[in-house]
Each structure stands twice: as C-alpha cells, then as structure tokens.
Amino acid sequence: MSTAVPIATDPAPVVARKPADAGSAFPELGEAADRGSLTVADRVVERVAGYAVTLVDGASAAPRRVLGVTVGGNADDREASVDARVDGQVATVEASVAIGWPASVPTVAARLREQVREDVERITGVRVAHVDIDVVSLSAPTSKRRRVQ
C-alpha cells in the first residue's frame, strides 16, 4: 500500500533578518557627484594609446634615431611614442609611428585613429577628441638574407 505525500510546489522564500541594532559593514553612499571625482593623468592616456598602436596591422612604434641613424631594433610590440593632453574628460593625442611597406598610409592612419579612440575611451573613460598621426618611417618588410652558393 502506498501513501501519497504532498509536495510543496511553491516554497516560501527564506528571508534573512537582521537584528534591529545590527548595522551595515559599509556606509551608505551618497550621490555619485557628491562622492568625489576621478582624474586620469596624461601619462595613462599616453600608455593606453601607445599600446593601441601595436594592435593595428601595418603600424608599429617608430624606430629610435640619433642624428638620423636608427639605433637598436624596431620591435613590433613596443609602444609607440605618444603625447597626450587630458582636459577634464576629453583628450588630444599625438602619435609618432612607422607604417609597414607597402601598406596604404591613409588607411592605416584611419585604423590607428579608430583603435586609439576606442581603447582610450574603453579603458580610461576619457573621450579622445583629436588624434594626430605623425608617420616618421616606412618600415621595409624583413627579408631573409640571400646566400651565395
């Protein structure tokens, strides 16, 4: 013989109750405007924009030069030389870059502007109003050394 056991289909929610004298571990926050402000330094925008250059195909950091002679190697993952000025929540950026041969300079520059604007705004919350791209070098593709046999 079997006995039917009723099953509750809608259990009552469990509510934790605090004693009336227990306070919160965190104070209540006021309005966002009353709590303070956030200032993003120029150097932060420069670092983000410099790294953004390395993410664009056909662009890289400009090689370092002394008296017109390239010094050291040009690593594609090195940050570009960038100067930024932040005024409140708006920034202007100037970047010196190398474009890989035979890429179209206007096309790569447009992608650079877009990448810098997106990354700076996404990471810092600062809007980039103006991006100046200074192409200081056209980097030739690396070729294998030919051996004479």
pLDDT band at 65 (very low <50, low <70, confident <90, very high): low
Residue the block writes with tokens 């919350």: 125
pLDDT band at 9 (very low <50, low <70, confident <90, very high): low
Q: Which CATH architecture has domain 38-139?
A: 2-Layer Sandwich (3.30)
Query: At residue 59, what is the residue type?
Result: A
In contact, 71 and 64? CB cutoff 8 Å: yes
Q: pTM of the entire structure?
A: 0.65
Q: What sign for the dihedral angle of Cα 102, 103, 105, 106?
A: positive
Task: Please state, for a pLDDT cut of 70, what percent of the chain lies above it.
Answer: 66
Q: Break the chain into its structural domains and give their ranges.
A: 38-139
CA distance 48 to 79: 9
- The β-bridge relationship of strands 90-100 and 81-87 is antiparallel
